[in-house]
Amino acid sequence: MNSEALVISAQQGNKEAFTKLIKNMEHSLYKVSKAILLSDSECLDAVQEAVLIAYTTIHQLREPKFFKTWITRILINECNKIRRNQTKIVKLDGMSEPSINEQRDAIIDLQTAVNSLDSDLRTVITLYYYEDLSIKDIGAILDIAGGTVKSRLNRARTKLFSLLSTNNSEGRMLHE
């Protein structure tokens, strides 16, 4: 059964269809929440709340083909709600021991650099590169214009280039 058929079935009250939809998207939902919140427990809380909201309001979804965009928007709203309620400063995890594999180091550096971006830049980078969403879809999810999405992507790329090209003598990323 394809995604649209599962959405229609879920809208008609089929709990198994909704479960399949969520099961197919759980990794994607986690990655999006992780880009915004960074804390695993907060990410899981946001995903859980978004799934609950989606389950109780799926009948309001007008176009089944936009299910992924719709639930991602719900998730981002939940993540933003959690961020607003935070009273602590989120610290970045320390770098792990350097490994022999330079490619692994580059991946770690890239993820650290992405995690250090401001939330709005980190979100568009995650949606564009990790979730493979179009600029139009990102604009719809974040409720911003396509030009704003492009601008944020450009600022994020510039910032990432700056962060990744600032290396110390051991080849590891320097932190600002």
φ/ψ of residue 173, rounded to 5: -70, 135
Predicted TM-score of the model (pTM): 0.58
Answer yes or no: do 7 and 63 share one domain. yes
Total of domains in the chain? 2
Q: What is the pLDDT along the chain (176 residues), one digit of tens a residue?
A: 688 899 999 999 999 999 999 999 999 999 999 888 878 889 999 999 999 999 999 999 999 999 999 999 999 999 988 888 765 444 555 544 444 556 666 777 778 888 888 989 999 998 998 888 899 999 999 999 999 999 999 999 999 888 887 743 344 444 43
Answer yes or no: do 10 and 64 share one domain. yes
Residues of the domain holding 27: 3-85
CB under 8 A, 24+ apart: contacts of 11-16: 11/58, 11/59, 11/61, 11/64
In a domain, 91, yes or no: no
In whole angstroms, give the CA distance from residue 83 to residue 97.
30
